[in-house]
Structure 1
Amino acid sequence: MELRDYIAVLRKGWVFILVLALVGVAAAAGFSLLKQPVYSASAQVFVSTQTSGSASDLAQGNTFTQQRVLTYSNLVETPIVLLPVISSLKLDMTSDQLAELVTSDAPLNTTLISITVNDTSAKQAADIANATSESLTNVVQNIEATDADGTSTVKLTRVKEAQVPNAPVSPNVPVNVVLGLLVGLALGVGVAVLRETLDNRVRTESDVEKISEKPVVGGIAFDSKASERPLIVQVDPRSPRAESFRTLRTNLQFLDIGTGSRTFVMTSSVESEGKSTTVANLAIALDSAGFRVILIDADLRRPKIATYMDLEGGAGLTDVLIGRATIEDVAVPWGRGNLIVLPAGPIPPNPSELLGSRAMQDLIAGLEQQFDYVLFDAPPLLPVTDAAILSKKASGAIVAVASGRTHKGQLAGAVSALENVGAPIAGFVMTMMPTKGPGAYGYGRYGYAYGYGLQDEETPMPKAPKRGRVAATRGAER
């Protein structure tokens, strides 16, 4: 992943990251509030030797004292020192339990011993520290060697008395909250990156570019009411979603397909990616711009165009291919423009054979002479071979890719299905793109028509009534 990919992950998952950060803060705050406060108090003793006062005696005494300090420091946590403390303060604990509260430290090259006590009671922490320093002084005087007068050669003096602390040393609420925040943020970012790494769905144009070099020629925003109003270009021509189909129309005009014909097969990797509504709206958009267009439902397994266009679909492409009818018999003019619709007709037992037949080749050749655009709605590429076979006879296939639904492996398989039979790929159309969030679809994002106005659009066409066969197509009448 590149830097921009990580930034995109953070933008897309910022809510999740924020939630985990807040959870971390709440957990740290809760832990701090529930944990019993611990107070710390320290006393300090100075170790010295009794000497005659000569320079040599002082030097020897200082060396002796520094050697002894570490030993005395280790004595602090032993029962011989702690048992008198328990007795004097009447503590309800054993010497081992008290040793867990007491620590000692002897700074290097000094003759000082620091005694620190951590306790849940501030006063008791100070009392134990002072009592321990006093007990250590007595123990050292008793166990060390004495001179001829019976006086100990080592003297311990308390130079710092432990004071009752005003505030606990633990828990440190600010530090805990900051640590909780950092842990929550780190966990949130890690989970977000992991989810993105494991997510194999196509979400953006860059995901498509990693699979194929062919361009993304359009992007269609997600519409939760698409099933209720599939022909958005007709029912709401001034909506942003309708404008995206006009942008797709414009991009097709600039698309270099290497041939003079404009015959496109709209397909997808799997079903429910929005290919049928896309090609139907594209046909209406091309028609509204004055082009002669024929829309053919070549999905001979699950045809939908007749339903979307509100037409009778009893006769259609199947009848033409088997020679039972001519296109003039079954093609239906739609609206008040130059759009002709050819429904699928009866579902045959051999769709692939019909679409790959010589009759289909001849039909396409004839239609390319009559129409500016010939648009096919074909089945998905992965379940069946129909679309790949048909695309080989056309100018190119336009593959619909549902953002956030199509898996990268599925799209790669669809591209391979077309390439394996030598079918040209004209481009891709991103469908169902999110309208909110960092990956949201933007108006005019995919093409040359950014800011394209609606002034030149015709008045919305009324829906054509259900019709049967017509004597001739409008393209033929021209």
Structure 2
Amino acid sequence: MDLKQFLQVMRRRWRSVIAMIVVAVAVAGAAIYIQTPQYESKARVFLSVDFTNLTDAYSAQAFLSQRAASYADIAESSELADRVIDALNLQETAEDLSSHINAEVIEGTVLIEITVTDGDARQAQTIADEVTKQFTDYITEIETPDNSAGVSQVKANVTNPASYEPDQVSPDVVLYIIVSVIIGLMLGIALAIARDLLDRTIRTAENVADLTEAPVLASVAFDPDIRSAPLLTDLGGFAARTEAFRLLRTNLQFIDLDHKARVLVVTSAVPGEGKTMTGTNLAVALAQTGRSVLIIDADLRRPRVASGLGLDPAIGLTTALVGKTDISDAIQVHEPSGLHVLASGAKPPNPTEILQARVTQDLIKRLRQSYDTVIIDAPPLLPVADASVLSTLADGVILVIRHGRTTRDQVSEALTRLGQVGGRLYGVVVNMVAKRAIGSYYYYYYEETAPVPRRKATGDETKSKK
């Protein structure tokens, strides 16, 4: 995955990244909430040895340097903790108290820094003060020889009394938040990449190109107002959806220059892809150019063309096929666009058999001669065989795919069914595309139709032409 692909994944999956950051910060917040705030108090003790001459001074320095670490361990010992507990009458064990005491030798010195942590800042200072007192007394005690006059050879003096620090040292809220954001970002990126790798839905033109050589004819952006304004006649001339169908109309002209398509089947792989509205608006867009256009509602199971155009669906294809009405009487006109409409008619018990009948084939042939373009709204390819049957009567098929919902497996199976009956796929229309992803389908047109750049003529070539 290169940088461009990575950025595309992040653009598509940014919600996953944000979600993981929010979760990580929430976990950090919970961890901060359940922890008891800890405060520190620090004190310093200076160690010294009596010496009588310069030679003894060097010996004393070496002596203290060797034993300073041992003195620091004594400050953290259970014995010293017991003395502090007795002195302050604390309600905790020596092990618990010693775990809150930390003593370190400051590098290059004979200073020992004692740090005490507690849930109360004042209590931490009180305990640190008592620890240093007991520590100095204990050092004097253990360093006093039994055969001497009771004078310790090592002296421990408090140079920095126990400090009072009102700011908590643990948990570190800023550090927790920064670390949680970093962890959440890393997990979010990993989740986004994993979701993208596992995502089998159609999201880019490359996804379509991996499945078929047929071009992406248009990408129609998701429009939240489609329920209130489903038709192009309900929109302004510069609406995004209007422009998308103009592009579809234009691209259809260049599919096959040798054999002009007169009959087109509009279908999808599965229901819910928006193929009826796509076929209807394509027919409206073609009719707006002054052509004679007929749309046939051949989805005999779930007919929606006539109702979408505000026409009567009761009289149409099936009533004409059985001879109850003449085909000219069954065709209605959508006045705002001038589009001719052949509704589905009464629902039959055997739609596939009706579409396979010779009388249906003859009817399509007659209508082909009567109109510049005939659009057939067919059922989805995967649930039933109707669309496969109709594809054999048409010049080509337009497959409608729903962005981010139709899977590659569904498209692949739909293309297989078309291939089995010899249906010709003219192209793909990607429907309900998120606005942030609409550009991911455009490159297909530009790369296919971009003119070859002209080389600038040199001076000699210009003279030769003259």
Q: Normalised by the size of structure 2, how large is the TM-score?
A: 0.78
Name the counterpart of 2:384: 384
Evaluate the alpha carbon distance shift between residue 132 and residue 325 of structure 1 in structure 2; reply closer, same or farther with a 3 A threshold. closer
- One-letter amino acid matched to 2:262: R
Name the counterpart of 2:211: 211
Alpha-carbon displacement from aligned partner over 1:292-313 (angstroms, at most 9, x marks no partner): 3232222233333333344455
Contact 1:291 1:338 in 2 (8 A): no
Deviation of residue 246 (structure 1)? Answer: 2.6
| Cα distance in 2 for residues equivalent to 1:309 and 1:446 | 32
Deviation of residue 13 (structure 1)? Answer: 5.3
Contact 1:400 1:431 in 2 (8 A): yes
Name the counterpart of 1:246: 246
Alpha-carbon displacement from aligned partner over 1:301-326 (angstroms, at most 9, x marks no partner): 33333333444555544466678877
Within a 5 Å distance, the mapping from 1:73-88 to structure 2 comes to 73-88=72-87
- One-letter amino acid matched to 2:342: L
Evaluate the alpha carbon distance shift between residue 325 and residue 82 of structure 1 in structure 2; reply closer, same or farther with a 3 A threshold. closer
Name the counterpart of 1:459: none
- One-letter amino acid matched to 1:259: H
| Cα distance in 2 for residues equivalent to 1:161 and 1:229 | 80
Within a 5 Å distance, the mapping from 1:43-82 to structure 2 comes to 43-50=43-50, 53=53, 55=55, 61-82=60-81
Deviation of residue 18 (structure 1)? Answer: 4.9
Deviation of residue 359 (structure 1)? Answer: 4.8
- One-letter amino acid matched to 1:283: A
Evaluate the alpha carbon distance shift between residue 258 and residue 53 of structure 1 in structure 2; reply closer, same or farther with a 3 A threshold. farther
Name the counterpart of 1:451: none
Evaluate the alpha carbon distance shift between residue 447 and residue 360 of structure 1 in structure 2; reply closer, same or farther with a 3 A threshold. farther
Deviation of residue 282 (structure 1)? Answer: 1.6
- One-letter amino acid matched to 2:163: V
Query: Which piece of structure 1 moves more, 99-108 or 255-264?
Result: 255-264
Name the counterpart of 2:437: 439
Deviation of residue 171 (structure 1)? Answer: 3.9
Secondary structure in 1 aligned to 2:437? coil
Contact 2:219 2:438 in 1 (8 A): no
Name the counterpart of 2:342: 342
C-alpha RMSD of the superposition: 4.0
| Cα distance in 2 for residues equivalent to 1:336 and 1:147 | 116
Name the counterpart of 1:135: 134
- One-letter amino acid matched to 2:379: P
Q: Tell me if 1:402 matches 2:402.
A: yes
Name the counterpart of 2:304: 304
Evaluate the alpha carbon distance shift between residue 23 and residue 340 of structure 1 in structure 2; reply closer, same or farther with a 3 A threshold. closer
| Cα distance in 2 for residues equivalent to 1:192 and 1:297 | 41
- One-letter amino acid matched to 2:134: S
Evaluate the alpha carbon distance shift between residue 158 and residue 255 of structure 1 in structure 2; reply closer, same or farther with a 3 A threshold. farther
How many residues align? The count is 444
Contact 1:115 1:133 in 2 (8 A): yes
Query: Which piece of structure 1 moves more, 293-302 or 350-359?
Result: 350-359
Name the counterpart of 2:232: 233
Query: Which piece of structure 1 moves more, 176-185 or 15-24?
Result: 15-24
Deviation of residue 382 (structure 1)? Answer: 0.5
Between Structure 1 and Structure 2, which shows a larger proportion of helix residues?
2
| Cα distance in 1 for residues equivalent to 2:306 and 2:85 | 95
For structure 2, the 5+ residue unaligned runs are 447-466
| Cα distance in 2 for residues equivalent to 1:283 and 1:51 | 108
| Cα distance in 2 for residues equivalent to 1:386 and 1:310 | 25
Evaluate the alpha carbon distance shift between residue 176 and residue 312 of structure 1 in structure 2; reply closer, same or farther with a 3 A threshold. closer
Query: Which piece of structure 1 moves more, 391-400 or 255-264?
Result: 255-264
Secondary structure in 2 aligned to 1:432? strand
Secondary structure in 2 aligned to 1:104? strand
Name the counterpart of 1:464: none
| Cα distance in 2 for residues equivalent to 1:199 and 1:64 | 70
| Cα distance in 1 for residues equivalent to 2:109 and 2:225 | 82
| Cα distance in 2 for residues equivalent to 1:47 and 1:235 | 92
Alpha-carbon displacement from aligned partner over 1:256-309 (angstroms, at most 9, x marks no partner): 376333321100112232222221222122122022323222223333333334
| Cα distance in 2 for residues equivalent to 1:121 and 1:221 | 60
Name the counterpart of 1:424: 424
Deviation of residue 2 (structure 1)? Answer: 5.4
Within a 5 Å distance, the mapping from 1:266-281 to structure 2 comes to 266-281=266-281
- One-letter amino acid matched to 1:215: P
Contact 1:261 1:368 in 2 (8 A): no
| Cα distance in 1 for residues equivalent to 2:355 and 2:34 | 73
